[in-house]
Amino acid sequence: MARILGVDIPRNKVMRVALTYLYGVGPKVAHQVLERTGIEQDRNSNDITEEEVQQIRKILEADFTVEGDLRREIGLNIKRLKDLGCYRGVRHRQGLPVRGQRTSTNARTRKGKAVAIAGKKSIKSLK
């Protein structure tokens, strides 16, 4: 199993898919990297040599922001928005959708599990 930038590339997968397991590498970047190294797109990740792994690692480090550096950059961008106190920063701070989505319904991914309002008695118990 090959390690690229601290991530184990999965075994027995096509290389263009296996590279997408790296944070910040999607199908387009994986295609570009494999094209530059001269590795076939449909080659199995088990068949890759150590020299080819070194080539992929070198290209990713030189030309693309991936893994830890990308996570750090995104985290700093969000922190900057929060410190500015702009609308997007406030939404990040409150854990609500940032990009204009509605919250009266949906938005459960950002808001979390729905919590019932405690302490309210039902109408039947009042009669």
Q: Provide block-wise average pLDDT over 10 residues at a time, the chain (127 residues).
A: 84 92 94 93 90 92 91 96 95 93 89 80 59
Q: Is 125 exposed, middle or buried (0-12, 13-18, 19+ CB in 10 A)?
A: exposed
Number of structural domains in the chain: 2
pLDDT of residue 123: 59
Instruction: Write out the residue range of the structural domain in which residue 25 sits.
Output: 3-63
- The tokens of 111 are what? 């808001």
pLDDT of residue 121: 62
**Residue 41 maps to which CATH number?**
1.10.8.50
C-alpha torsion angle, residues 39, 40, 46, 51 (rounded to 10): -10
Residue 75 belongs to what H/E stretch? Answer: helix 67-84
Nearest Cα neighbor of 63 from 25, 93, 96 is: 25
Q: 90 and 38 in one domain?
A: no
**Residue 94 maps to which CATH number?**
4.10.910.10
Q: 79 and 58 in one domain?
A: no
